[in-house]
Amino acid sequence: MIILGKVRPLSGHLLGPHPQVLIIAHEFALFNGDEIERWLLKMVWGASEAYPTAPKIRGNIRRLQLADYLFRSGGLPVGWGLYATGIRQGLRVSTEHAMTVRLEESNGELRSGSLEVGGVRLTFAIGARRPTTETAAIYRPAAIFLDRVGTDRHKVAALSWYRASGSRAESVKVTFVPD
């Protein structure tokens, strides 16, 4: 996949503080999508188990599938895993809470968990999600584009995946509109 955009001369080191992140000109970063997805699963599962009132992952088969994926590089059923969504109209980001974690349930069972960072929501879904007009979530996105109205600057977070999904690469675009 080729992502075209404004590229500046390279400055500093190409490798950031984490070897799985490649940084070029502070406008483009390449992330390992599988690592992000596993990290999100670990965070969601941990949050679910940490609080007695939080919804739990039910059923040994589900727990074994997720543990196999998390620790032994097993696969996930189609539609399970990382979804990304851009900011909704009118949503204000709190300066006191840079990140927000949410767990979603159905009939007392954990169905997904989300991490909201600024204008981006990353969701780990246990089961396929159906996008609606309000939440056009992208399954295993190829990139997340961040820009701001009134400037020509933008950021790109590209995600690479070990296993190709077989579907067309899709991306999420988040545009910040200042007050």
- What are the tens digits of pLDDT across the range 121-143? 899 999 877 766 555 788 899 99
pLDDT of residue 124: 93
Residue 100 domain boundaries? 22-176
The total number of structural domains that make up the chain: 1
| Farthest CA pair distance, the chain | 53
Q: Give which of 100, 122, 118 is closest to 40, Cα–Cα.
A: 122
Q: Are 158 and 4 in contact (CB under 8 A)?
A: no
1 inside domain:
no
Q: Give which of 101, 100, 102, 106 is closest to 127, Cα–Cα.
A: 106
44 inside domain:
yes
135 inside domain:
yes
17 inside domain:
no
Please give the helix or strand (H or E) that residue 115 lies within, else none.
strand 109-117
Alpha helical stretches, state H, the chain? 33-50, 60-72
- Per-residue pLDDT of 147-179, as tens digits, reads 878 877 788 889 988 876 666 788 888 887 776
Residues contacting residue 119 through CB under 8 Å, at least 6 positions apart:
86, 87, 91, 93, 146, 174, 176
9 inside domain:
no
Which single residue is written with the structure tokens 């077989």? 166
Q: Give which of 83, 76, 73, 133 is closest to 104, Cα–Cα.
A: 83
Q: In this predicted model, which residue has the larger pLDDT, 4 or 57? A: 57
51 inside domain:
yes
How far the first Cα of the chain sits from its last, in Å, is: 35
162 inside domain:
yes
- Per-residue pLDDT of 64-86, as tens digits, reads 889 999 998 788 888 899 999 88
10 inside domain:
no
